[in-house]
Chain A
Amino acid sequence: MDTLYIGIVVAVYLAITAYLGWLGFKQTTNAADFLVAGRKQHPIIMALSYGATFISTSAIVGFGGAAAVFGMGLLWLTFLNIFVGIFIAFVFFGKRTRKMGHNLDAHTFPELLGKRFDSRFIQGATGLLIFLFMPIYAGSVLIGGAIFIAQTFSISYDAAVLGFTIITAVYVVFGGLKGVMYTDAFQGVLMFIGMALLLIYAYTSVGGVMAGHTALSKLAPEAKILFGKGGHMGWTSMPAFGSAMWMQLVTTIVMGVGIGVLAQPQLIVRFMTVKSNKEINRAVLVGGVFILFMTGVAFTVGALSNVYFWNNPKYQTVAIEAVKMAQAEKEGKVYKPVVSVELTKKREADAAAALLNPALAVKEPAKPAAAVQSAAIAPKTGAAAPAAPAPAKPKASGALTDAIIPLFINEAMPKWFIPIFLITLLAAAMSTLSSQFHTMGTALARDVYEKGLQIKSKNTVLVNRMGTLFTIILSLGVAIYLPRFFETGSAIIAKGTAIFFGLCACAVIPMYVGALYSKRFTKAAAKSGFLAGVAVSLLWMAFIHSAEAAPLGICMALTGKASLLDPRSWISNLDPLIAALPVSIIVSLLVSALTSPMDKEHLKKCFNGIEKV
């Protein structure tokens, strides 16, 4: 019954997706249709497509799980997602991008920059950056979606990744951006419904809004036992200022993704798909509410899952420990959590007794969390006597946090909701992946092949379809072979989103702002800022930022050290974006001041009608 129900829900979803992809194919007659959806999209379709592309499975499951560890501080990312990712992006970047794209007849983001600075190098190099590094980001979305599909339908990972790719590829290659945006909008509606239901049921499962948040505040001592060394202060507080957890939360998660969104080519091209700024004004409303319901709900539910598991008689511990218990149970073992209702009661009783009789306070020192943890997993036996500890293979922290939201859904939600949430996640993965495929394909075909290398083609649509197909095969290769050939492959893939967001931001933001807002910003400044941003960002990842330097292994191979600096120092925890973006900005401004501005006639054409925007 359950399998039949899931099968019917998925079949209906795929049938509607296929129909919308076919609709896009029927309406794609020229290159403008394939590349910018004919420049006449409806504002609601544009806003939902932008939002659904922005939010992938990793935003809901990965970052939702991170909220179960970091707590409500992750809402700073939701604030930036809405304020920077929607309001600033649409009002201050979107309108000028649409108008300038129209003035210059640009059909991709690299083409907009290339034509604005009258530079084949800028268009080709930006296209090449997308073509070379976006497959890592697409690979991470593909892997996340495929693992989820494989687990749900009990099929092999390879079959899941192949099926997922083929279904998405068909409507991207044939439907172009119209097919992508129609399916995105449908998937966005499903995501909105799924997340709204999740919020309602999550609050119901923890006793309501006030009760849930009050209970979460009371769990602060457990957070300090588990993550106190990293600077955790409780799930309704930020980590201690400057601590390792604070640096990771603020510089990598909040700033890296929150600001990096401004330079995402697959999102920027959406601004060029509408016919006037009226559509952009209307899309701001839809986009703001949509993102609030996506990351706002995912992060709130992630943090509140700690209360649910604490109150659940089966677990009586916090989310990350509940996942360890569930995984140990699957392996036929028992995991004794480091924090639990039982241990807290004992601790409180000891404290009360010590208060009454100070002599009792002189006891053996408490074991540190790590020591307790190492002895916590024991084989599952029916006997009451303690069994000998069996060493269990430690799981990566990323794998544990990724399992929190799925476990919460399976435990806390009604059974009928599980297939609905499955579709929500499937829609989130497919909408992001389809846009990535389209952007990579057009970057290779139009920006590198046709414009950068100046190879003329008779049929632009066919060349773009072939380019898209080629980059899809490349992403499939990343998703299949990277985790297989490199033991640390999954660690690199998990960083895919942050790496691409950061790299794009450092390379592109200074010249993108200069292109839209300054007639004084020169071609040389755009080139030098781009190169400085890419160089500093890549070097910082390879040699300084321990989160990437260690799994990449370049620094280890050259110097014998995982990172050039002490991995515990604050600078080793500083995200590449925070290091490289200021360098890129300073280089751009200096070069711009030292070189002469572009031709006045060209600038007049670029900025025609923009002062009124």
Chain B
Amino acid sequence: MLGFEGIGVVLAYVLTIAAALLCVIYGVINWNKSDEEEKL
């Protein structure tokens, strides 16, 4: 049985993998996207 504290760690696992996937997907989708800037 997972207690409240155990769920905290499982959530950290899931969110960590999700954040890494978000970075990968964002990078792939926007690979060629830009807003693109000109011989002290």
Residues in chain A within 8 A of chain B (CB atoms): 30-32, 71-73, 75-76, 78-79, 82-83, 86-87, 91, 95, 99, 102, 107, 233-234, 236-241, 275-278, 281-289, 291-292, 296, 460, 609, 612-613
Contact = CB atoms under 8 A, between A and B. Distances in A.
Nearest to B24: A285
B22 A83 contact: yes
Nearest to A86: B23
A73 B20 contact: no
A107 B26 CA distance: 28
A287 B23 contact: yes
Given A79-B16, A284-B26, A296-B16, A277 B8 contact: no
A288 B23 contact: yes
Contacts of A289: 20, 23-24
A32 B40 CA distance: 9
B28 A285 contact: yes
Contacts of A76: 8, 12
Given A79-B15, A276-B37, A236 B32 contact: no
Nearest to A77: B12
Q: How large is the interface on B (under 10, 10 to 19, 20 to 34, 35 or more residues)?
A: 20 to 34
B16 A288 contact: no
A286 B23 CA distance: 8
A91 B32 contact: no
Contact of B5 (A87, A99, A240, A291): A240
Interface in B1-40: 3-6, 8-9, 12-13, 15-16, 19-20, 22-24, 26-28, 30-37, 40
Contacts of B32: 278
Given A289-B23, A613-B35, A73 B16 contact: no
A91 B6 CA distance: 32
Given A95-B35, A241-B4, 18 more contacts: A73-B9, A76-B12, A78-B12, A78-B16, A79-B19, A86-B23, A87-B19, A102-B37, A238-B6, A240-B5, A275-B36, A277-B35, A277-B36, A278-B31, A281-B26, A285-B27, A289-B24, A292-B16
A585 B14 CA distance: 31
Given A87-B22, A99-B35, A238-B5, A288 B27 contact: yes
Given A236-B6, A460-B40, A75 B23 contact: no
A186 B32 CA distance: 25
Contacts of B37: 102, 275-276
Q: Is the interface of B mostly helix, strand, loop or mixed?
A: helix
Contacts of B20: 82, 288-289, 291-292, 296
B21 to A, nearest CB: 8
A236 B35 contact: no
A286 B27 contact: yes
Given A99-B35, A276-B37, A83 B19 contact: yes
B17 to A, nearest CB: 8
B27 A282 contact: yes
Contacts of A78: 12, 16
Contacts of A284: 23, 26-27, 30
Contacts of B12: 72-73, 75-76, 78-79
A107 B40 CA distance: 9
B7 to A, nearest CB: 8
A291 B30 CA distance: 20
Nearest to A31: B40
A86 B26 CA distance: 12
Contact of B15 (A83, A276, A278): A83
B16 A278 contact: no
A223 B13 CA distance: 20
A609 to B, nearest CB: 6
A276 B9 contact: no
B19 A238 contact: no
A238 B8 contact: yes
Nearest to B6: A237
Contacts of B9: 71-73, 75, 236-238
Contacts of A609: 35
Nearest to B13: A75
B26 A87 contact: yes
26 contacts: A30-B40, A71-B9, A75-B9, A75-B12, A76-B12, A79-B12, A79-B16, A83-B15, A83-B22, A91-B26, A236-B6, A238-B8, A239-B5, A276-B36, A276-B37, A278-B34, A281-B33, A282-B27, A284-B27, A285-B23, A286-B27, A288-B19, A288-B20, A288-B22, A288-B23, A289-B20
